[in-house]
Amino acid sequence: MSNEKTEGIIIRLADFSESSKVITWFTRDFGKTASLAKGAKRLKSAFEAAIDLLATCRIVFIRKSSGGLDILTEAQLVNRFRPYPGSLSNLYVGYYIAELLDALTEEYDPHPELFDAAYAVLLELQEHDDFQKALIKFELTMLNEIGQLPQFEYCAGCSQELGQSESYLYDANNGGLYCQHCEQQRHGNVRVSRGTMTVLQKLLDEHTQLSQRLNLSLQQQREIRQLLTTTMSHILGRRPKMAPYLQL
């Protein structure tokens, strides 16, 4: 057993007993972990009011060496998730982020960049009702970190450069887009215009700040949403539960 310290986002909460909860965290240093918070349901617990879905906390826990649940010993609130007032969509996007982090990451497999992207999008969801760019950037970071980022430069059929085209056919099953030649004999899920590709490439660039001028048309947002939802569905083997709430 060892004492570990890190920051974590609460991505799932379950009752364990009359007074205790099991908390699933996405932590910066250890990836996903589950810990038992004894007495968390008591009014005056050691964790005060830190235990709340999507809250970010500085935590200390005792790591169990063989199976079993870790034991949470300290949780200090860093940020409580409060979606932008009046925007139900922002709340659902928060749930979607928790769903993806829970379903697509493994226990004790750290991804600090993904933690930072998740924290950034949660703050964005608190401060603005336009969260699209932040959400897309988070999803692209997620796909990149788990090695499932679609190939945007080379054809998924013949591996040649995609070349200039007004639009491209995207095939989630094959993890990429087809050149004009290959798309004649292929099937795809989504059609993505050239402008949308440019936006995706900009959002993928780590130097692109969200505050930068990058206006997404409704058409571009719809194409990207379709591309990302079919990609996530393909990886999960089902449609994300929150996907219907993200439609534009």
Question: Given the rule CB under 5 A, which residues bind Zn ion?
Answer: 155, 157-158, 179, 182
Q: Closer to Zn ion at the Cβ: 109 or 161?
A: 161
Q: Closer to Zn ion at the Cβ: 8 or 157?
A: 157
**Smallest distance from the beta carbon of 180 to Zn ion, in angstroms?**
8
Kindly state the DSSP code that residue 173 receives in the 8-state scheme. Answer: G
Q: Rounded distance, CA 184 to CA 159, Å?
A: 15
Kindly state the DSSP code that residue 172 receives in the 8-state scheme. Answer: G
The three-state secondary structure class of 48 is coil
**Smallest distance from the beta carbon of 160 to Zn ion, in angstroms?**
5
Q: Answer yes or no: are the C-beta atoms of 77 and 49 closer than 8 Å.
A: yes
**Smallest distance from the beta carbon of 156 to Zn ion, in angstroms?**
8
Helices 218-236 and 88-104, axial angle in degrees (round to 10): 30
**Smallest distance from the beta carbon of 154 to Zn ion, in angstroms?**
8
Sheet holding 176-178, edge to edge: 176-178, 167-171, 190-193
Q: Closer to Zn ion at the Cβ: 115 or 168?
A: 168
Closest to 125 in 3D by CA, of 160, 93, 156, 157: 93
| DSSP E strands, the chain | 2-15, 21-27, 31-37, 56-63, 70-79, 167-171, 176-178, 190-193
Q: Closer to Zn ion at the Cβ: 118 or 192?
A: 192
Tokens of 226: 């379709």
**Smallest distance from the beta carbon of 150 to Zn ion, in angstroms?**
15
Kindly state the DSSP code that residue 41 receives in the 8-state scheme. Answer: T
Q: Closer to Zn ion at the Cβ: 70 or 183?
A: 183
Q: Closer to Zn ion at the Cβ: 59 or 155?
A: 155
36 CA to centre of own chain: 24
